[in-house]
Structure 1
Amino acid sequence: MTERKPRPVNGEAEEPLTVGAPEVPEAAMAAGEEGEAAADREGAAATAVPTVEELEAEVRRYKAEAEQHWRQFLHAAADLENYKKQAARAREEAVERTRRAMLAVVLSVVDNIERALEYGGQSDTAASIVEGIRMTHRQVLDLLANMGVRPFEAVGKPFDARYHEAVEVVPASVEYPSGTVVAEVQRGYLIGDEVLRPARVRVAREG
């Protein structure tokens, strides 16, 4: 606080008033210096060069991320390849089903031709007709062979449920012991190594 002196009396010269500078507490000065030092340290930290350990840690992190992305890519590629294989199998199965359905129709035609040959061969007057049917029969069998279809023999073979369908049981004999196919009612066919249609047969049984 400024101290006021008494005003001069009887014309005495007035002394100028002086105001002293405020004193700054030492604690405030210390706090200011500490703040400046902290600011200097923050600036130095912001511009500091990363250490070798920090750089190696960054490299490891990026490498781990790259490996993860690569695994994800391989997984997606494997899924795509599996889908392609499944789609290819589905197409092949659809084609095979259609092929079998068409071949079954052709086989029914072959059956009718074979019946005509069997009955027509008993008449001399139908010789020319029978010969024409026989030629047609051979052509159809050749067509089936080109498609991988062929008949298989059943008569005299042991009965096998994979290849034969029993439609009648007849007494066994010396020529046809029990469990042997005696005759074909309808011929069986293979497509490749698989059964396209089992043969319908008569089977010998004892007693």
Structure 2
Amino acid sequence: MNPEMPTPEQDLNQEPQAALQDPAAEIDSLKARLAEMSDAYLRAKAEAENIRRRAEEESSKARKYAVEGFAEAMLPVLDSLEAAIGLPNASNEQLLEGTHATRRQLVQALERNKVVEINPPAAAKFDPHQHQAISMVPLPADVQQEPNTIVAVLQKGYLIADRVLRPALVTVAAPK
């Protein structure tokens, strides 16, 4: 317990006249305390408002510039495409080689930004969370493949940080 603060027993033992000897001084003391507390409250309120405003500004900037990293990763791909367009007399081999190089750049840019392709192998189990069945095909009797497994991938799917961006379009083996 704080020795400066009187205990309730000490308050009761004081003479009533001692507590009321100088009411004006006590009022002045309480007014000063009220002024201190009011000032502290206003400062805390202003600080809370500043924190809220800064958080809103940061959130706004984060939304506004969220694609900045992705856009930076895509610029080399755009440069490669523009370079290909700028070669009017390029041979088919050169265009094919440039197309493969540009595709590699694009895949790397997507992977750096956590966009990963979903390309399930044949006979993989159908997963409705990552695959979309376009059709079910009956398999010949000599094919040993389980029902509800993937027969063919018609279009690759993509994940972005464990969330399906686009499911893979697949053909599924029908039950026999």
Scaled by the length of structure 2, the TM-score of the pair is 0.56
| Residue in 2 that maps onto 1:64 | 34
Which among 40, 43, 58 is matched to residue 73 of structure 1? 43
Residues 166 and 150 of structure 1: CA distance in aligned 2, closer, same or farther (over 3 Å): same
Amino acid at match of 1:56: E
1:187 aligns with 2:153: no
Deviation at 1:99, TM superposition (A): 7.3
1:198 aligns with 2:167: yes
**1:114-154 residue CA offsets vs partner (Å, 9 max, x unmatched):** xxxxxxxxxxxx77764443333222212322333222333
Amino acid at match of 1:170: V
| Residue in 2 that maps onto 1:167 | 134
SS at match of 1:96: coil
Amino acid at match of 1:153: N
Q: Is the contact made by 1:176 and 1:182 (CA closer than 8 Å) also made in structure 2?
A: no
| Residue in 2 that maps onto 1:92 | 62
Percent identity for Structure 1 against Structure 2: 25
Q: CA RMSD in A?
A: 3.7
Scaled by the length of structure 1, the TM-score of the pair is 0.49
| Residue in 2 that maps onto 1:133 | 99
Unaligned runs of 5+ in 2: 1-20, 79-91
SS at match of 1:56: helix
Residues 76 and 134 of structure 1: CA distance in aligned 2, closer, same or farther (over 3 Å): same
Residues 60 and 182 of structure 1: CA distance in aligned 2, closer, same or farther (over 3 Å): farther
Question: Residues of 2 paired with 1:162 and 1:93: CA distance?
Answer: 28
1:154 aligns with 2:124: no
Residues 202 and 86 of structure 1: CA distance in aligned 2, closer, same or farther (over 3 Å): farther
Amino acid at match of 1:78: A
Number of residue-to-residue matches in the alignment: 137
| Residue in 1 that maps onto 2:53 | 83
Q: Is the contact made by 1:184 and 1:202 (CA closer than 8 Å) also made in structure 2?
A: yes
Unaligned runs of 5+ in 1: 1-50, 110-125
Amino acid at match of 1:84: R
| Residue in 2 that maps onto 1:44 | none
